[in-house]
Amino acid sequence: MYNAGLGIKRFQIIQQDGTAAAVNTMANSDDIRNVLERINSIQKTLEELTGRLRRGPILLKIQENNICKQQDKLDKANEELQRLKSAAKQKELEAAASDQALAKRKQQLLESKSNKEYSALQMQIKADEQARSVLDDEAFEVIEKAEKFAETLPPLETELKKLQDVFNATKEKFLKEKPGIEGQIAEYAADLHQEEVKLPREFHEVYDRLVRSTGGAESLAVVAGQKFCGGCNQQVPINSLAQIMAKKPVQCSSCARLLYLPPDFEFDKG
């Protein structure tokens, strides 16, 4: 939120160089209502501009976090895929070792020297073949699982690329707009300073205090609907309206904003 401290300092300098009388008689040439209205309008514009300036980095940070989260998903998916591939490879190695063992036992079967040894080898070969069949099923299951899981990676990669493109476009747009926004802020800040120094002393004291506590845009409010505070919508007492018309600084009793009247205000004692 914009801080009018620089404008306050400028006012104090004017007070010190002996021209305070010229400033404080402003109401004779430029109605206080008009000054307060312009200040409020500039403050709101400054708040909108500074808000845009703040939102840029915030939005970029959010998008950057989304990219990190998506990258983390992709990394974990790749790790899982590698795990599945390693498991499939291990099954292939186990199958190769099983084939070698079977080949060895079959050779031993041919070289057996007794019926007892021959029968024992036949039983072992049968058990090994059954184990080999189970191993094939397990290997097929792991390989199929790895292939199906691999299909989940392209969508994750596509989403990551989309998020990166959005981030780059947002960053490019913000960097392009930033100098212009900063230039507008400087121009409106200068306009605000010019209006601030027009405030009579009694208004300036209230205004300075409110700016320090609220930051600027929440320091003033127009009287809406002929009798309501435009900031908090609380009713403004008749005696307060009369004081405002008499060009006295009046604050809303509810939100403490410094009040000013709209151009079409009509005082209604009833």
The tokens of 270 are what? 């009833």
The tokens of 261 are what? 């009247």
Domain coverage including residue 178 = 5-218
Query: Do the beta carbons of residue 42 and residue 184 sit within 8 Å?
Result: no
Mean pLDDT across 171-196: 96
Q: Is the pLDDT of residue 19 over 50?
A: no
Q: Is the pLDDT of residue 233 over 90?
A: yes
- Tell me, yes or no, whether 52 lies in a domain: yes
What's the CATH number where 52 sits?
1.10.287.1490
Mean pLDDT across 244-268: 92
- The per-residue pLDDT for 13 is 33
Residue labelled with tokens 């980095």: 57
Name beta bridge partners: 228. 224, 235
Q: Give the N- to C-terminal CA distance of the chain in Å, as an integer.
A: 39
Mean pLDDT across 86-109: 85
- Tell me, yes or no, whether 65 lies in a domain: yes
Q: Is the pLDDT of residue 126 over 80?
A: yes
Q: Which residues contact 80 (CB under 8 A, 6 or more apart)?
A: 149
Q: Is the pLDDT of residue 97 over 50?
A: yes
Mean pLDDT across 46-50: 95
- Tell me, yes or no, whether 61 lies in a domain: yes
- Tell me, yes or no, whether 80 lies in a domain: yes
CA–CA distances in Å: residue 265 to residues 33, 223, 224: 11, 8, 9
Q: Which of 62, 86, 67, 61 is nearest to 156 (CA)?
A: 67
Report the chain's mean pLDDT, rounded to a whole number: 86
Number of structural domains (the chain) is 1
Name beta bridge partners: 224. 228
- Tell me, yes or no, whether 249 lies in a domain: no
Q: Is the pLDDT of residue 231 over 70?
A: yes
Q: pLDDT-derived band of residue 211, with 50, 70 and 90 as boundaries?
A: very high
- Tell me, yes or no, whether 229 lies in a domain: no
Q: Is the pLDDT of residue 23 over 90?
A: no
- The per-residue pLDDT for 220 is 96
Strand 258-260 and strand 228-229: the pairing is unpaired
Mean pLDDT across 25-41: 76
- Tell me, yes or no, whether 103 lies in a domain: yes
- The per-residue pLDDT for 21 is 36
Out of 45-59, 129-143, 148-162, pick the least confident.
129-143
Mean pLDDT across 120-130: 84
Q: Sort residue 3 into left (φ over 0), alpha (ψ -120 to 50) or beta.
A: beta
Tens-place pLDDT, residues 109-120: 888 888 888 888
- Tell me, yes or no, whether 231 lies in a domain: no
Sheet with 220-224, edge to edge strand ranges:
228-229, 220-224, 258-260
Out of 65-69, 124-128, 266-270, pick the least confident.
266-270
